[in-house]
Amino acid sequence: MTNVAIFPEPSAHGEVEYRAVSGGRQAIARTAGGALDALTEQLPADETGTLVIVQNHRPDRFFDAGQQRRLGELMAAWRASRDAGATLTPAEQAELEALVDAEVKASGERAAAVRADLPQ
């Protein structure tokens, strides 16, 4: 079974688009379903059985509201700095990297919790 994750992300035009990822493959589209369809077209025939997990990006026991808020603030600051040809302060960069690491860890913990709930 192929696992696919779908993430909303801002486009260059300020709209939301969706990225579907599976292993080294990925596809972007205007809708989650479109991204999934585009990714599925890339898969070999023996990998077309998929388990799709769509994260709702609400606070949970793995990554709380305060962490989400601060990550959003730092990402906005990072984008503004990048667009101005500047960088974050070393402290902000370190905090951003720590929050990204925490969210990646939280994603793994969420996936493990979902897997534990699947029938064997």
pLDDT tens-digit series, residues 2-31: 777 788 888 878 888 988 888 788 999 999
Residue 60 included in any domain: no
Range of the domain at 112: 65-117
Residue 29 included in any domain: yes
Answer yes or no: do 43 and 69 share one domain.
no
Answer yes or no: do 10 and 39 share one domain.
yes
Which residues are bridge partners to 20 per DSSP?
A: 6, 27
Residue 34 included in any domain: yes
What single DSSP character describes residue 25?
Answer: E
The total number of structural domains in the chain stands at 2
Residue 40 included in any domain: yes
Angle of helix 65-83 relative to helix 90-117, nearest 10 degrees, comes to: 130
pLDDT of residue 96: 93
Closest CA to 92 of 105, 100, 62, 57: 100
Residue 27 included in any domain: yes
Residue 48 included in any domain: yes
User: What separation in angstroms does the CA of 77 have from each of 24, 89, 93, 96?
Assistant: 29, 10, 10, 10
Query: How buried is residue 111: exposed, middle or buried, by Cβ count under 10 Å (0-12/13-18/19+)?
Result: middle
Answer yes or no: do 86 and 42 share one domain.
no
> Confidence band (pLDDT; 50, 70, 90) for 78?
very high
Answer yes or no: do 48 and 74 share one domain.
no
Residue 72 included in any domain: yes
**Residue tagged 């801002």 (tokens):** 10
Q: Are 27 and 39 within 8 A, CB to CB? A: yes
Residue 59 included in any domain: no
* pTM across the whole model: 0.59
Q: Dig out the tokens for 60 from the structure.
A: 């949970």
